[in-house]
Structure 1
Amino acid sequence: MMARIFGYARVSTGDQDLSLQVHALQGAGVGKDNIFTDVVTGAQAIRPGITALMAAVGEGDTIVVWRLDRLGRSLVHLADLAAQLHQRGVGIRSLTDGVDTSQATGRLIYGILSTLAEFERETIRTRVRAGMAAARRAGVHCGRRPALKAEHVAHARERLASGEPARRVAGFLKVSEATLYRALARHPLAPPAAQ
């Protein structure tokens, strides 16, 4: 199969014009029928044009963009997209950034991009962990909302104290026995008030 050249252009709003990017792509040899476009912000996860482009390209093909930031929503997204394309044997060429992954310098930039993206991912993970630890120290619950509230746990204790089996109490509350036991541990009985 002969290698093909595809183009991708994106603008953030309907007020902006795709024509500058489209003309540049056509000037680089991309046929009109092989240009995919989106009019969405880079942060938008769903982009019909990029989805159709990813379905169309195959091994040996090249995607041409006016600038790399038109292709990816963020550094991490761009690196992930580039890695997917690389695994499929699809090259990327950016007209204004001077990146061409079929050339040695383009592959070097791709490697740097991937390293920076991994650094950004790790930085985000570290910040999230630190934020969650600070929230827990402040008494804020992190993660999923508990399945049982304190009043449910109090009701469960009463039923268990009257001799009802834990399996039946859990079934009544529509949770598993493990969830019931975790909730009981999370809401210990208050010590009796001093007389």
Structure 2
Amino acid sequence: MSLSTTQDRFLVGYARPGRGKSVAEQVEALRSIGVVEKHIYADEPTKEGVGRAWFDEAVRNLRRDDLLCVVSLDKLAANKPELLALLEGLEIKGVGVVSIEDGLDPRLRAGDQVTKLAKALRRAERAWTWSWPRQQALAAGRAQRPSGGRKPILSADEVKQLVRMRDTTTMTWNQLADHFTKAGKPIKEVTLRFIYRKQKQAAK
């Protein structure tokens, strides 16, 4: 979503896919607190995933006393260390952060904000915990599902072999990953787990 910036901005919004509201719903939430739409940056999904090009652009354009506004803190980073480093960098730059669902707003009483920040960090950690395994499972599903004429990761015979080895031996997922290879490289454990689970469900 290409959005321009101007010299008179104060509230800058950012949205990205993830747990909770869609990008469109996030944009509406940002507009509801006074963020002008031309000052809202949004990263959208592509075939390669969700990048951070517009997030990086938003941060580059932030000036002292600006407020970076999001629906929730998990939209700003992929994990807690990354988020804390970002918040520290923004503070040094003189930029505040508004998180709508977390009730964070540097214009409000400082004492309340400390408590809300702690709660917001715990909430973000739950969102990251939810989104990472889900993204991995979806990636595994895409890898196994034929697309555009590509062969699946495992052949039908290999899938049967995987199920048999998992059910009748003491091999760990790590050992199975070393056993099943593609182009000379071990297949990721998460992919094998996904294939195994789908095959067992289909057999019921």
Give TM-score scaled by structure 2 length: 0.47
Of structures 1 and 2, the larger Rg is shown by: 1
